[in-house]
Chains A and B, each alone.
Chain A
């Protein structure tokens, strides 16, 4: 049994008296020492899935309508509020895209991490402070014993994101969820942060869920990939086997849409059309309006999850078929 198992997760948004599904029968699992990359464009449901795991979908407008999330043998959806709290930030931690808004600007970064540690572990302030210095040096912040007393605005974007990682790691979580952790950062800084996360994983054995829109980031950092499109997992596999042979036309389209630095192409093979909005009702495969090889079947029937190759699942009626 894996550390985190998400099964048939359903999330819906209520708008104008109707329940609109935003995440539909999403399943995946992550184990220790493993990085799962979730990739997709805005509105595909990848962030909502992460928030659902963290129990941060508290509102009445967005709610989980089905499925199960099992973490370390516990069903997270049936836990009481208190039990959940003790897991969140302790055994499970999350880092967000905007390192500026996730840190409270009026407190020193050290105090913010100390507070987080002391909420979950019995430690004196001095002990916690030592631990923070240790963590800051772990995330490669120069002069950690001085930077403990810095305010967030005194640090650069990359450093702030590292502080966020330090805070997330402060209680040795078993699972780290990173939602677009490097999107707001420059490429050179992005590389440092991603390297850091990979390094920390090998040292601590943390399971990581990395959410990104960038296939490059996913390809370089993940062991497993789930490609999401409009609330469903279009394709999922081990990273190597996924990129070896892309089975879903959306994944192929996404890859062809990306301008690459290593070769010249005259025209990008863009996916036509756009992601349908939540209000638009769809029949059949959600991708059929944009798919070049869609048939009558795609228009009427939602494709079931099928095994394309061993450990490579895909939700498409014609997996692996290149458009004519």
Chain B
């Protein structure tokens, strides 16, 4: 089954999930073509036109520095994609590797998975807070922290799935052919995990947004000058009564995006191998 067929099967007859998918495509387009779409420089300060109401030319109004909120929102999409993709890559690489290796080499696994269990005992946000206070505020560090937080759940999930696949007859057959351990793990088991990994990635992508927004809101995420939806909420929260649109627009964007990602994740999950359905239940 190739990826195109998989997507087609996943979205067939699911209107809401398809809408979610289209919304995400729009976000992606906005992220890539941000300089073309945004009418103003998102960092340009205009002390005269601050806190303008939504209208023309400032579609979403301006913030307390007079920066164009619509342009910032468009550039915020870019941050959304970068943070999401980065966290997914970190979480899947770190968590996936730990989970797979732990399931295959059981002695090492005992050791590694107990470590994962300890980390999982902390609430995700708390752990992110602890880690971020040790590091500087930067895009890279935000990605790293969120990635590590979700690496734990990913490790758990991949541990379970690898364990199941390890008991499959085709793995026994490969062993009998003389295939080495690493080759079994990466050439025989990993390809069978691709579609569940895709599902897991979509959930991490969604939760990374919430996590990033929360960190930004607490002033611990991205540096304040970076236009992200979380930063926009954080900076303008004191103007909630005077200029509520400054919070409404980024708020709606976050909610819609996270909701869409979850819808897409659900759709993908329902069409993957039924054996793995129970393993993935969000992060």
A and B touch in the complex (CB under 8 A): no
